Amino acid sequence: MPIYEYYCVSCNQEFESLRPASQSQEPAPCKQCGESSERQLSTFSFKSNTFTAPKLKPATKAMRSYDVNNQGDSSPQPAE
């Protein structure tokens, strides 16, 4: 079973859940407050003893849509 990442709007928490692929699009209950949570887009990773991965820059956590919404409106206001 794959691991999916979810985000709970109610308590502002991210968590992972091991679920069958058939339930991947269904909301998952938050592990902290029990409310429904939204599935997030995850980055793919793997580990193999037979494959040597290329040397890449360290991964940084992708910005989530809720991060953009929580930053506030910092766009410049039009001049009147």
pTM for the whole structure:
0.52
Give, in order, the Cα–Cα distances in Å from 79 to each of 12, 26, 54, 72, 74: 35, 45, 50, 20, 15
Average pLDDT over residues 3-12: 88
Residue 19 domain flag: yes
Tens-place pLDDT, residues 56-71: 666 666 667 676 666 6
Residue 78 domain flag: no
Q: Which domain holds residue 24?
A: 1-44
- More reliable by pLDDT, 52 or 42: 42
| Residues in a beta bridge with 5 | 16, 40
Does the pLDDT value for residue 26 go beyond 70?
Answer: yes
Residue 73 domain flag: no
Amino acid (one-letter) located at 65: S
pLDDT of residue 31: 85
Question: How far is it, in rounded angstroms, from Cα 47 to Cα 55?
Answer: 14
